[in-house]
Chains A and B, each alone.
Chain A
Amino acid sequence: MRKSLLVAGVALALMAGPASAQNKTIKIGFVSTFSGPTAVIGNDMRNAFELALDHMGRKMGGIPVEVIYEDDGQKPEVGKQKTQKLIESDKVDFISGYIWSNVVLASVKPIVDSKTFLIVANAGASELAGKQCSPYVFSTSWTNDQNPRAVAEYMNKKGIKTVYMIGPNYAAGKENLGGMAAAFRGKVVGEDYTTWPSQLDFSAELAKAKAANPGAIYTFYPGAAGVQFLNQYEQAGLKGKIPLYTTFTIDSLSLPRQKDAAVGVIGALQWGADLKNDANKKFVSDFEAKFKTEPSFYAAQSYDAANLIASAVAAVKGNLKDKAAVQKALEKANFKSVRGAFKFDTDHYPIQNFYMQEVVKNGDKYTLKTIATAIENSRNVHVGDCPMK
């Protein structure tokens, strides 16, 4: 008994041991959706994050990295529980991931309260760029209204006069359609919101859009819902009659199931697999070699998130206790992004280019082809609401 106490005491002393500022391992929590119909997105993000770690020898600044993946099941309350577990039980240094705006909005409080750094790899909730911006919150994506604004500019140039909008009724859906409505110079003749994520039958909404006979239909349906929307758009006899513009509805994950229904449809993104920079070429070719499929923008943003974290860890030489130094290092965005060089705005959201992409068919392969630069160095419109200057 006494002996074991002694052993325990020694062990404790060793653990407390020579106080080192450097972490022994870098712990990263990654919250995404790994079950349900949108699990393909989560898996794509995980693949890209793992690929980034492989590329850096699974070390950041010479320190081994451990990543803990948690499934949010696409539910805000589950995402929040998992986030809490990562902070309290696993005591992670960084948290990344988050596909869904409603999930990240529910989860952000414990992250910021515990002064853990959050690198959002997709969800574009505008509050986080504006009023709720934080020294601890960074994003490698965009705000929800940014991409639709780019599409709206393109539609303006095309001379489209009227648009009918259909989108999911959750945080991101409202912001996305709101962005379209704000930047489109013609008239919005109709606007429908559907129950998210359960409603996948869009018959009532498509019938209304058809009757309104607009110059274009605009929609935003990520994941499986996007596949269903395009199918039903075709089934309702709208294809070839009313052109469709989208954001985040067609990507390399959904294209194999959308196929011909997607050909010719136009959207806007800050990244494309065909962008010609060295980091992107390496990322795309290695991703395709390892996972036998083209990476999606979700993957590109996750790959960037891993590299952003690595750049900061290296800059502070693994001393993650100095939060101010880590924040400064992250703000520099000192890494080779696959979208090409970008800077962080004062609200920690990227200032970046947006490109128009069209779905093309090459043989029996469907891909997104970059056809134009929509906006250069786009800043999100919420940065003014952010107290950080």
Chain B
Amino acid sequence: MSGWLTPRNIVVVILIAGLTLLPAYVVLTGDRFALTLFTRIVILSLAAVSLNLILGYGGMMSFGHAAYLGIGGYAVGILAAEGVYSGFVQWPLALVASALFALVVGALSLRTRGVYFIMITLAFAQMAYYVFSGLARYGGDDGQTIDKRSQFAGLLNLENKVVFYYVCLVLLFACIYLVWRLVNSRFGLVIQGARSNEARMRAIGFPTYRYKLVCFVIAGTMGGLAGALVANNTDFVSPAMMFWTRSGDLIVMVVLGGMGTLFGPVFGAIFLLVLEEVLSGFTEYWQIILGPLLVLVVLFARGGIDGLLRSLSREKSHG
């Protein structure tokens, strides 16, 4: 039983409880900005979880994940601009559009390896960035304001911040659960096997290309979901959502938190965004701390936050 009660699992439980109870704190203290901040954190956690599926478990180094967020966001934004506010239309479209984009990008990119894969996913994301920059009807470079959030036939009122926060949180937990089921299935074992030795998996008879493509599409679809949430959260979509540095931010979250772990991306998103909030209040030059920190993580703490917590557990069990 002590095997379960590791410091890492305790932190995970605290994390889940904390995120669930956050609105209570906000109501008690009236600190509405905490809710705004954590809604953003939860949504970006969801995006990081989706990237982690291909990056951490699948070893597919996609440098264009922000594109799926953008496409999901624009699905909501464009429909809203055309007067379609129903979430039952907007959200499925966001998922389908990002899935289709992931299918095309994945089908073409997965033929390449290594750096070429990184660059071609980046190229497709930049293309998406410029497509939306070029749409004068939907604000072009400036982006466009969404005047009403997705409507769910009166079942859910997303304009209510607490309700919206819980919607995001439930979706985050659902996606983590989905990833957990996936990576522990036969499908997940093939994906992870292909990461460490693709030739062997193929020799055993698994069509790894097809497996990886499916995985890529699932991750892209989740990214699109995160995008629909971003659009509803900010009431605004712009091509800047898709710029390559945004994809870089997502990678940073995944790696800081711990690649290929269930809760790592969530740790990473919380750490990065809270750090940004705290340090930017403390010093204007907060990135001068973050930059070298990233280098140090790469050099000395490959497992990220999750890895640190794990090593804590190991030391304890030794002692």
Answer whether residue B141 sits at the interface, using C-beta atoms and an 8 A cutoff: yes
Q: Is A89 an interface residue (CB 8 A)?
A: yes
**A183 interfacial contact with B, CB 8 Å:** no
Which residues on the B side are within 8 Å of A76 (C-beta)? Answer: 142-143, 236, 238, 240
Q: Which of A75, A85, A169, A195 contacts B33 (CB 8 A)?
A: A85
Interface string of A194-209 (1 = CB under 8 A from B): 0110000000000000
- Given A102-B143, A109-B147, do A88 and B240 touch, yes or no (CB 8 Å)? no
Interchain nearest-CB distance for B245 vs A (Å): 12
Give the nearest-CB partner of A71 in chain B.
Answer: B284
Residue in A109, A170, A195 whose CB lies within 8 Å of B235: A109
Tell me if B33 and A89 are in contact (CB < 8 A).
yes
1/0 per residue, CB under 8 A from A, across B26-39: the answer is: 00000111001000
B142: contacting residue among A85, A108, A171, CB under 8 A:
A171
Answer whether A105 and B36 are a contact pair too, CB < 8 Å, given A75-B240, A77-B240, A170-B140. Answer: no
Q: Which residues of B contact A80 (CB under 8 A)?
A: 234-236
A84 interface residue per 8 A CB criterion: yes
Query: Which chain A residues numbered 70 to 123 have a C-beta less than 8 Å away from chain B?
Result: 75-77, 80-81, 84-85, 88-89, 102, 105-106, 108-109
Instruction: Report how far A167 CA is from B306 CA in the complex, Å.
Output: 50
The chain A residue sitting closest to B143, CB to CB, is: A76
Q: Number of contacts between A and B (CB, 8 Å)? A: 48
A155 vs chain B, min Cβ distance (A): 27
Chain B residues within 8 Å of A75, by CB? 240
Given contacts A76-B236, A76-B238, A77-B236, contact A89 B145 (CB under 8 A): no
Q: Which residue of A lies closest to B235 (CB)?
A: A109
Specify the main secondary structure of chain B where it touches its partner: helix
Known: A80-B236, A89-B33. A109 touches B145 (CB 8 A): yes
Instruction: List, in ascending order, chain B residues with CB within 8 A of A89's CB.
Output: 31-33
Q: Which chain B residues in 115-156 approach chain A with CB under 8 Å?
A: 133, 140-143, 145, 147
Rounded to whole Å, the gap between the CB of B198 and the closest CB of chain A is 39
Q: Is the CB of B141 within 8 A of A196?
A: yes
B176 to chain A, nearest CB (A): 26
Q: Known: A75-B240, A76-B238, A77-B240. Contact between A84 and B36, CB under 8 A?
A: yes
Neighbouring A residues of B240 by C-beta, 8 Å: 75-77
**Cα(A243)–Cα(B314), bound, Å:** 76
Question: What 1/0 mask marks residues of chain B from 226 to 247 whose CB sits below 8 Å from any chain A CB?
Answer: 0000000011101011000000
Minimum distance in angstroms from B160 CB to a CB of chain A: 13
The minimal Cβ–Cβ distance linking A145 to chain B, given in whole angstroms, is 17
User: Is the pair A88, B236 in contact by a Cβ cutoff of 8 Å?
Assistant: no
0/1 interface trace, chain B 81-99, chain A, CB 8 Å (1 if under): 0000000000000000000
From 204 to 229 in chain B, residues with beta carbon under 8 angstroms from any chain A beta carbon are: none
CB-defined contacts of B32 to chain A, threshold 8 Å? 88-89
Name A106's contact: one of B31, B133, B143, B241 (CB within 8 Å).
B143
Q: Is the beta-carbon distance between B145 and A88 smaller than 8 angstroms?
A: no
Q: Which chain A residues in 144-182 approach chain B with CB under 8 Å?
A: 169-171
Shortest Cβ gap from A140 to chain B (Å): 23
Q: Give complex CA distance A108, B235 in Å.
A: 11
Q: How far is the CA of A89 from the CA of B32 in the complex (A)?
A: 7
Residues of A contacting B147 in the complex (Cβ-Cβ under 8 angstroms): 109
Q: Which of B31, B140, B142 contacts A105 (CB 8 A)?
A: B142
Residues of A within 8 A of B31 (CB): 89
Chain B positions within 8 Å of A195 at CB level: 133, 141
A residues whose Cβ falls under 8 Å from a Cβ of B: 75-77, 80-81, 84-85, 88-89, 102, 105-106, 108-109, 169-171, 195-196
Known contacts A76-B240, A105-B142; 19 further A-B pairs (Cβ under 8 A) = A76-B142, A76-B143, A76-B238, A77-B234, A77-B238, A77-B240, A77-B241, A80-B235, A84-B36, A88-B36, A89-B31, A89-B33, A102-B142, A106-B142, A106-B145, A106-B238, A109-B145, A109-B235, A196-B141
- 8 closest A-B pairs by beta carbon, nearest first, are A89-B33, A102-B142, A88-B32, A88-B33, A170-B142, A171-B142, A106-B236, A76-B143
A-B contact pairs, 10 of them (CB 8 A): A80-B234, A80-B236, A88-B36, A102-B142, A106-B143, A106-B145, A106-B236, A109-B145, A195-B133, A195-B141
